[in-house]
Amino acid sequence: MVSRRSILRAVPAVAAVAALPDLPRRLTADPVRLPPDPATMAAAAGAVRGFTADLYHTLASSHPGGNVVCAPYSVGLALAMTRAGAGSTTADEMDAVLHAPHPRPDALHSGLNTVDQSLAGRFADGDGTKKPRLITANALWTRLDLGLRPGFGDTLAGYYGAAPHPVDFGGAPESARQEINAWVSDRTNAKIEELLGSDSVSSDTRLILTNTVYLMAAWRYPFTARATAVEPFTRDDGSVVDVPMMRGPFDRMGYLEGDGWRAVDVPYEGGALAMAIVMPTSGDLAAVEANLDGTGLGALLTGFQTTDVQLRMPRWTFRLPAELGVALSGLGMPTAFTPQADFTPMSTTDPDLCIDDVVHETFIAVDEKGTEAAAATAVIIRPPSIPQGPQFFVNRPFLYVIHDRLTGIPLFLGRVHDPLVTGPA
């Protein structure tokens, strides 16, 4: 008999790319997903934007003066799957953090299912060059002797396409960890190779939810590599660093100005996905970040007006692993991380579960041809311990948001303070 609390895990999805094999390491037969409900999509998109702004503020404040990248869509999917097994105060707090629409209990699940199927229908068959390739995948990894409550399993299968996949957490936790990491790596084109660290899976592990998101997209108007030149980039502290600056064509793209900022929306091939880049016109980037919220993010991503833009922007590659447990607790869901957590709707055999931490890792590479980005998230549950023809010269720190134009869903969000920095210090 296990006298301590069990462990739940969740790993949000990362979209797959052109070089990615066609869903390798396939688990049990894919469950039949519930049909999309277009009436729920707008509210779910608004929820994702609200959560995106909240999470970005918290993550950016913990990396002052440094580059940042994250994929709140991935984190949100992992938490939403986890929320499907929560009850009482734990569920209420998670709903608030996720900006879950009310009063329908299944509104968030239905809306995310609709968004996910919309993305899959438009980008799952892309080749990453002529058409963006964006794939999400969800899986439910369970201990061999774990009993799932039907309602929890049905929600994950119907809304997230996640079928139970039994693994031997109890007898061979290291083998299970390697299998899950390999699955994540396969679906992120090896950009997230070890999401779960060496000490993250033990014989007490009961359940891990995985969600992956991987993107490969070529620019609609590619930069000319021979035109790239080393030019100065001014950091917020006034120091200057020389970076490879790409020069774009004078072409049609979105442009928008606001109070103390201006932005350009750089389209990927096909025009359905784009990268919005926001720069301050006065002051530093922190002032722009301070005013970022879900409403403002929605207004930004839907407010662009098409015009001819002369674009110059740096190349950059960046990776950021982050532990989000403290951040999420601070955002308003502390109970899930305590012995008072209620995850009884998950399991018939293991009623005592709580979250130990939420691990997230994101990778992005931007060059003359386009963008490759990947993210993964793990929600780890452990036994509780003791308690008009404008020029747009991107030569200063900036925000960027890779987003789907139809739904207004932000997929990847970040900040570049220094294009030469490739990882956390």
Q: How far apart are the first and last CA of the chain?
A: 44
pLDDT score recorded for residue 21: 37
Task: Assign a CATH topology to domain 225-314+389-416.
Answer: Alpha-1-antitrypsin; domain 1 (2.30.39)
The DSSP element (H or E) to which 378 belongs, if any, is: strand 370-381
Domain map of the chain by residue range? 7-218+318-381, 225-314+389-416
Residue range 223-244, pLDDT digits in tens: 988 899 999 999 888 899 999 9
Alpha carbon distance 90, 82 (integer Å) = 11
What average pLDDT does range 350-368 have in this prediction? 90
Residue range 167-205, pLDDT digits in tens: 998 999 999 999 999 999 999 999 999 999 998 888 888
Which CATH number is correct for 7-218+318-381, 3.40.50.12780, 1.10.10.10, 3.30.497.10, 3.90.850.10? Answer: 3.30.497.10
The answer to whether the CB of 205 falls within 8 A of the CB of 199 is no
Mean pLDDT over the full length of the chain: 88
The DSSP element (H or E) to which 119 belongs, if any, is: helix 107-123
Q: How confident is the model at residue 28 (pLDDT cuts 50, 70, 90)?
A: low
Residue range 378-418, pLDDT digits in tens: 887 776 754 456 778 888 899 999 999 999 999 999 999 89
pTM: 0.88
Q: How confident is the model at residue 250 (pLDDT cuts 50, 70, 90)?
A: confident
pLDDT score recorded for residue 391: 76
The answer to whether the CB of 165 falls within 8 A of the CB of 140 is yes
pLDDT score recorded for residue 17: 32
What average pLDDT does range 208-229 have in this prediction? 92
With 0-12 / 13-18 / 19 or more C-beta atoms within 10 angstroms meaning exposed / middle / buried, residue 406 is middle
Pairing mode of beta strands 398-404, 391-393? unpaired
pLDDT over threshold 80, residue 312: yes
**Which residues does 263 contact at the CB level (< 8 Å), separation at least 6?**
254, 255, 256, 257, 276, 277, 278, 279, 300, 304
Bigger pLDDT: 16 or 412?
412
pLDDT score recorded for residue 5: 36
Of residues 257, 253, 231, the one with CA closest to residue 244: 231
